[in-house]
Amino acid sequence: MEAVLKNLSSTAELLAVASQSGAVAQWDKQTLSRAFHWARYCEHISSRFHNNSAIKGIMEKQLQFTNQSLRAAFPGYTDISFSDLSCCQHLLLVGLLKNPELPISIMKILFDTTSPVNNQQSDYQDVTGFCSHIIQCKSARKVLSPLTDLSAVGADVEVQGAMLMERLAALLSQESEACRTEHFLDSVLQGGEGAAGHFCLVIAAALLTTKISAAQTASQGFLLDWLQKKHSVLQLMCSALPTTLLIDLAKGHLQFRAAYCDVLKKWASDMEYSMSEGEWVQPSTNRTVSFKRLTEHFLALFESCPSLREDVENDLNALNISDGDFDVKGLSVWGDLLSALNK
Amino acid sequence: MTVRLVCIMSQLQPQNQLQQTSEPPLNVQELQFWLDKAAAWGQADSPDTRKDTCLHLSRLKDYLQLLLTHMNNMSSTTERMKTLPLLGQFLGRLCWNPYVTADATGRRLLLQCLWGLYSEHPGNALERKANQWIRKVLCQLATEEDDDAAALALMKRMGVSPKEYHLKVLKMMVALLQENIGKSCRSLVDLNQRCSCDNIRATSEACVPLVTCPEAALLIGALLQQPMTCVRAALSQDFLDALSSAYSSQCISLEEQAVVSLWYHNLSSLEDAVLSLLECVLTNTGSTPQELKQQLAQSLLPKACAQHCSIFLVANDIFRSFLKQTEGNESVKYLIQTFSSCFLRELARLQHKTSGSWKALFPQSPQSLLVPLLTRPSEMPREAWKHHLNWLSGSLQTLTEEEEEGDGDGSRSTRLEGHHKVFEAWFLLIQCAHWVQVAVWLLVTSDPEDCGPLLWLLTFYHHPTNRGHHRASQLVHAKEAWDHLHSLYSVSSCPLPVDRLQSLVTLLSPQPERPSLSPLFILNLLVNFAVFFQQSLSGSAEILQTVVNRSGLVNEAACVLRSLELRLNEDSCLSSDTNRVHLRINALQNTLTHMHAASDPAGNQAHAHINAQNQTAVSSSSTPPGSLQNDK
pLDDT higher at B253 or B193: B253
Which of A97, A113, A167 is opposite residue B108, by nearest beta carbon?
A113
Pick among 1.25.40.490, 3.30.1330.10, 3.40.1080.10, 3.40.50.11540: CATH of A260-343: 1.25.40.490
Cβ–Cβ contact B210 with A under 8 A: yes
pLDDT surpasses 50 at B291: yes
Report d(CA B207, CA B180) in Å as an integer: 15
**pLDDT tens profile B501-515:** 888 888 777 776 666
Report d(CA A3, CA A321) in Å as an integer: 73
User: What pLDDT sits at residue B190?
Assistant: 58
**pLDDT tens profile B306-322:** 989 999 999 999 999 99
Residue of A98, A106, A131, A136 best to disrupt the B interface, most CBs of B under 10 A: A136
pLDDT over 90, % of chain B: 33
The mean pLDDT of B489-495, rounded to a whole number, is 72
**Sites in chain A below the pLDDT cut of 70:** 115-125, 175-178
**pLDDT tens profile A170-202:** 888 876 666 788 888 888 888 777 788 899 999
Closest CA to B301 of B321, B276, B266: B276
Window B:422-451, CB contacts with A under 8 Å:
none
The mean pLDDT of B401-413, rounded to a whole number, is 75
User: Are B45 and A90 a contacting pair at CB < 8 A?
Assistant: no
User: What pLDDT sits at residue B7?
Assistant: 66
Across the A:B interface, residue pairs with CB atoms under 8 Å apart total 165
**pLDDT tens profile B216-238:** 988 998 898 887 777 667 888 88
Among A299-313, B426-440, B618-632, whose mean pLDDT is lowest?
A: B618-632
- Give the relative orientation of helices B309-325 and B330-349 as an angle to the nearest 10 degrees: 170
The mean pLDDT of B384-395, rounded to a whole number, is 93
pLDDT surpasses 60 at B605: no
Split at pLDDT 50, 70, 90, the class of B606 is: very low
Q: Is residue B167 classed as helix, strand or coil in its secondary structure? A: helix
pLDDT higher at B617 or B401: B401
With contacts defined as CB-CB under 8 Å, which chain B residues touch A98? 139
User: What is the value of pTM for the model shown?
Assistant: 0.78
φ, ψ (nearest 5 deg) of residue A280? -75, 135
- Mean pLDDT (chain B) is 82
With contacts defined as CB-CB under 8 Å, which chain A residues touch B104? 113, 136
User: What pLDDT sits at residue B356?
Assistant: 52
pLDDT surpasses 60 at B623: no
**pLDDT tens profile B518-550:** 888 888 888 888 888 887 888 888 888 888 888
The Cα of A113 is separated from the nearest Cα of chain B by a number of Å equal to: 6
The mean pLDDT of B115-124, rounded to a whole number, is 92
Distances (CA, A) of B333 to B272, B286, B329: 20, 16, 6
The mean pLDDT of B51-73, rounded to a whole number, is 92
Q: DSSP assignment of B49-65, as one string? A: HHHHHHHHHHHHHHHHH
User: What pLDDT sits at residue B614?
Assistant: 42
User: Which residues, 6+ apart, have CB-to-CB distance to B533 below 8 Å?
Assistant: B444, B445, B489, B540
pLDDT surpasses 60 at B107: yes
Report for A79-93, B8-22, B402-416: range of highest mean pLDDT: A79-93
The full set of domain ranges for chain A reads: 260-343
With contacts defined as CB-CB under 8 Å, which chain A residues touch B133? none
pLDDT surpasses 80 at B96: yes
Report d(CA A197, CA B242) in Å as an integer: 42
Split at pLDDT 50, 70, 90, the class of B16 is: very low
pLDDT higher at B187 or A63: A63
User: What pLDDT sits at residue B514?
Assistant: 63
CB A90 within 8 A of CB B162: yes
CB B258 within 8 A of CB B287: no
User: Are B141 and A135 a contacting pair at CB < 8 A?
Assistant: yes
User: Which residues, 6+ apart, have CB-to-CB distance to B391 below 8 Å?
Assistant: B372
pLDDT surpasses 70 at B575: no
Report d(CA B259, CA B123) in Å as an integer: 52
Report d(CA A96, CA A98) in Å as an integer: 5
User: What pLDDT sits at residue B610?
Assistant: 40
CB B207 within 8 A of CB A193: no
Report for A175-184, B83-92, B230-239, B465-474: range of highest mean pLDDT: B83-92
The mean pLDDT of B345-372, rounded to a whole number, is 81
Report d(CA B583, CA B574) in Å as an integer: 15
pLDDT surpasses 80 at B286: no
With contacts defined as CB-CB under 8 Å, which chain B residues touch A164? 158
User: What pLDDT sits at residue B184?
Assistant: 60
User: What pLDDT sits at residue B98?
Assistant: 95
User: What pLDDT sits at residue A100?
Assistant: 93
CB A258 within 8 A of CB A238: no
The residue of chain A with its CA nearest to that of B168 is A159
pLDDT surpasses 50 at B47: yes
The Cα of A206 is separated from the nearest Cα of chain B by a number of Å equal to: 14
pLDDT surpasses 70 at B347: yes
Split at pLDDT 50, 70, 90, the class of B492 is: low
